[in-house]
Amino acid sequence: MTKKETFVWLNDSAANGVVIPGKTRMPLFALVLIAPVLVALAMLTSTTIATVDAASAGETEETTFKSSCAMCHGADGSGDTAVGKSMKIPDLHSAQVQSQSDAQLAEVISNGKNSMPPFKGSLSQEHIHDLVTHVRELAQKKAVSQ
């Protein structure tokens, strides 16, 4: 009686189930056992990512601000940085900035103004909206701390 083996090649589509000396092989039953585990991990990972995304919306605003704006505007939005002082960047808490509508602020972020560069090429509309929200929050935080 001959023993019949069935193998599936994971990395070599040219092998097409043929046993090639020196190649690693995985029996079909092992693949059948591993597949549900891989599917469960994929589902768990996507659920975790969605939960983290929803929970960290505020963190996303702050992260985007730190990476795109804080170099000039400062972490607190005051413009109290070397670049901010040299370019006379307005304090984001000021009435001059806060009196603008959300659409006007989004326009400035998207297209730039004076020496501020445009960010529409590097930030999505969602990120720009998040930055407008963050600018509003910065003003509220300052008002509360005073």
Cβ neighbourhood burial of 138 (10 Å; 0-12, 13-18, 19+)? buried
Decide if pLDDT at 83 tops 70. yes
The residue to which tokens 């995985």 are assigned? 26
Question: DSSP states of 81-137 as a string?
Answer: SHHHHHTTPPPTTSHHHHTS-HHHHHHHHHH-BTTBPP-TTTS-HHHHHHHHHHHHH
- For the stretch 16-32, pLDDT in tens is 555 555 555 556 666 56
Q: Higher-confidence residue: 69 or 51?
A: 69
Q: How confident is the model at residue 62 (pLDDT cuts 50, 70, 90)?
A: confident
Provide the pLDDT for residue 14: 53
Decide if pLDDT at 92 tops 60. yes
Decide if pLDDT at 48 tops 50. no
- For the stretch 96-141, pLDDT in tens is 999 999 999 999 999 999 889 999 999 999 999 999 999 999 888 7
